[in-house]
Structure 1
Amino acid sequence: MTAPAYRARALADVGRLAEAEKEVRAGLIESPADPELLSLLAGLLRLQGRRADALDAASAAVAADPHLPGVHIERAECLMLDDGAADDPRTAEALREAEEAVRLDPAHAPAHRVLARVLALRKDFGGARAAVERALELHPHSVTDLLTLGEIERHAGNRGAARKAVTAALAQDPGHPDGRWLIALLDAERLRVRSSLRGLRDLAADHPAKLNSAALAWPVRGLLGGLRRGLAAGVPLTAVLAAAALLWPSWQVAARAAALTVVIVMIGFGLRVLIPAGLLPWRCLTLLPSRQRRAVRAGWVAAVATVALLLGYAGTGHWLALTTGFAGLGALLMAGRAEHR
C-alpha cells in the first residue's frame, strides 16, 4: 500500500472522507494511473454520494489494471448505487464485474460478497445466498458477510434466517451500526413497534451521522403506506359490490359489510402501530424535509377522511359517501406520490 493510500484509509476510517479524498488526489498527481489510488478514490466518492464521479474513477481503475479483483469489486459497487431494477443495464454490468472479480481470485471473500449483493439486487436470492455462504466459508466470522447474509434473507422474505444471521454478527460486534439497523428493521416489519423504535433511538444517539432522527417517524409514514394500500383495494371493492346492488338489491348488504370490514381492519391496523409508538414518531415528523412533511400531513387527512366516508356508507348505504370516498382515495394516492418524489 502506498503512503497516500495508507493515509487516506486512516482518514476514511474515522469518517474524514473529504480529507481522505485530498490525500488520494495528491497521490494521483505523481501516479495518475495507480489502480489502487483510483479504486480508493472511487470508493471515497461513492461514500460521499458523488455517483457519476465515482463510476468514472472506478472505470479508470479497471482500465489501469484489469487483472486486480479489487478494481472490479469497486466498479460493481459503483454500478449498484442506483439500486436499479433487475433488468437494468447497470445491474447486468455490475454482475459482469462481480463475476470477473471472483474469476480473478476465487479465494477472495469480498469478491463473493459483492457477487451476492448484485444477485440479490437481481432477485436471484438462491444464487446470492450461495455466494455469501462461499464468502463465509473463507472467513466464517466475518461480521460484514454475516450482515450481507442477513440482508439477503430479509429481502427474500426469510425473516427468521435474517435475524439469526444478524444476531450472529452482533454477537461478535454488539455495537455494529448496520447490525443494529437491521434488527430494528426486522422488528418494524413484524410490527414490534416499541422494540424497533427503541433500537433506532439508541442508534441515532450513538451514530447521529449515520441515522437521522427523522427515521424514527417510520411508524407514522409506514402506517400511512399501509392505509394507502388497504384503501386502494377496499374502496374499489366496495364500489363494485355497490354497483352490483343496482341490479341485485340484496348485494347492498354485502357492499355495506365490505365497507365496514375495511374500516375495522384499517382502524385496527392503525391502533396496532400507533398505540405502542406513542408521540415520538409524530414529533420526529418535524425533522422531515418540508415537502415530505406536507405530503405526510395531507396523506393523513385524506386517509382519515376516506375511512370516515366508508364508515358513513356502511351506516347509510348512500352513494354520495362512497363516491366522495373515491375523491379521498385519489387525494391519498397523490399525497403518496408527492411524499416519495
Structure 2
Amino acid sequence: MQHHDQDTSRRDWLKTVALGGAATLAAPIVQAAPAQPAPAARRIPIAISTYSYWHFQEKKYPIDKVIEDAARQGFDGVEILHRQMENETLPYMNKLKRLAFDNGLALPLLSIHQSFVQPKPEDRKKDIEHTLKCINLATQMGIPAIRMNTGSWRTVKRDANYYKDGKEPPIQGYTDQDAIKWCIESMQECLVAAEKAGVVLAIENHWGLSSNIDYLLEIYKPLASSPAMGMNVDTGNFVGDPYPQFERLAPHATIVQAKTYYGGGHYYDLDLDYKRIAGILRKVNFNGYVSLEMEGKEDPATAVPKSLQILREALS
C-alpha cells in the first residue's frame, strides 16, 4: 500500500514540474531585445559624363581615359556622350564596356542628340531612325538608358539672353502645340523599340521646347505608362528659379544630371545649392544615378574632383 502511495506522489510531483516548466516557457520574456541599429542611409551612386572632359572642342577627349579617371576618383559610373564616341564599331563599343566592367563602373546613360520639333515628317523620321540606331548601340554596350531631347524651333540665337528666358517663337505657320504633338508621336514610335530592347528613353529638360516645364510634362505624361519611358532631370537647364521647377520634375526622375561651372560656364553661370537639391531628391525617394556634367572652363583635372566632393557631401 505504501509503495502505491509513493508512486502516486511521484507521478503528481512530475506532473507539477512539467506543468511548471510549460508555464515558464509560455511566460513572456521580459528581457529587452537588443536595440536594432538604424538602417544606414543608401548612398546615391554618382556617375560622370564624358562631356565633363570635352565641351565639343575640335579634338575629342577619349572616353577610355574618362573611364580610367572615373575609377581612380571613386565615381560609380560613366555617362557616355554619343557624339564623343570615336566610332560605332563593335570592337570599340566592346572595349568601352569591358573597360568599365574591369574598373567596377556602370555605364548608366548614353546621351544622344535628336529633335522632333521639325515640321517635315521626313525630318522627324530621320531622327526617329537615329534614336533606333542608338537604342542598338546602348544595348550592345549594356547601357540601360538613353538621354532624349524634345528639340527646338531654332528660331533664335543661343546667346546669354536665350539662356535667361528660354523663349523661342515657333516657325511661322506652326504652334508649340504642333511641336508637342510631334514629340509625343515620335517618342511613341521610339518607345516600341525601346520596350523590346529594355532600354529607358529618358527625356530631358534640355532647352528648346522643354525650357517650358509645362510643355515637358505635357509630352511626358501621355507616355509615362510605357515601361521604357523615363525622365532625365538636368539641374542646370532651368529658366529662372530652378528649385520649384526641379521639385515638379523630381518625382518623375529616372536619372539626374548635376551641373557645375568651375572657372565660369561655357554658356552661362549658375550657383546651385546641392544640399537643397539633395533634400528635394530625398523627399521623393530618388535612388537612381546622379551624373556630373562639369560645364566650366577650369581644367577637368581639378574641377571634376571638386565637383565630386560637393555631390558626395550633399548626397550622403
Give the TM interval when normalised to the shorter protein. Answer: under 0.3
TM-score by length of 1: 0.25
TM-score by length of 2: 0.26
Q: Taking CA–CA contacts closer than 8 Å with sequence separation of 6 or more, which of the two structures ends up with the larger relative contact order?
A: 2
Higher strand share: 2
Q: Which has the larger radius of gyration?
A: 2
Higher helix share: 1
